[in-house]
Amino acid sequence: GYRRPLLAGLLAALALCIALPVEAQQTLRIGYQKSSTLITLLKTRGTLEKALAPQDVTVTWHEFPSGLPLLEALNVGNVDISADVADTVPIFAQAAQAR
């Protein structure tokens, strides 16, 4: 399934946040879709918030109705990480010259 790669990506983002020197409180903006059970569980349980709190990193969650608006938000810098996107959406975004 898609859960292992998704979880691996989130853990990589978490590791990156932990590895960066934090001088002031920072915010990790996560874009997600309501249909993602794993992400909803992480959000509801506060798993990432608890893990990042010692590094003074705040997590904010931004819900999107589908993958395309989520990728657009990632492309323009409104979210830092996309937690849930189907396989075909990035292909169409790349074809549209998204960065």
Q: So what's the pLDDT on residue 41?
A: 85
Q: Which fold has domain 3-95?
A: D-Maltodextrin-Binding Protein; domain 2 (3.40.190)
pLDDT tens per residue, range 52-68? 999 999 999 999 988 88
List strands edge to edge, sheet with 26-33. 57-64, 26-33, 81-82
Mean pLDDT of the residues in the chain: 77
**pLDDT of res. 91:** 61
Which residue has 């990156």 as its token pair? Answer: 16
**Domain assignments of the chain as residue spans, ordered by start:** 3-95
Q: pTM value?
A: 0.64
Mean pLDDT in residue range 87-96:
60
Instruction: Examine the pLDDT at 15 and tell me if it is beyond 90.
Output: no
- Contact assessment for residue 20 and residue 56, using Cβ atoms and an 8 Å cutoff: no
Contacts of 73 (CB under 8 A, 6+ apart): 31, 62, 64, 79
Do 89 and 72 meet the contact criterion of CB atoms below 8 Å apart? no
pLDDT at 13: 66
Is the pLDDT at 86 greater than 70? The verdict is no
Which pLDDT tens digit goes with each residue over 17-45?
555 555 566 999 999 888 877 888 888 99
pLDDT of residue 14: 64
Tell which phi-psi region holds residue 62, choosing left (phi > 0), alpha (psi between -120 and 50) or beta.
Answer: beta
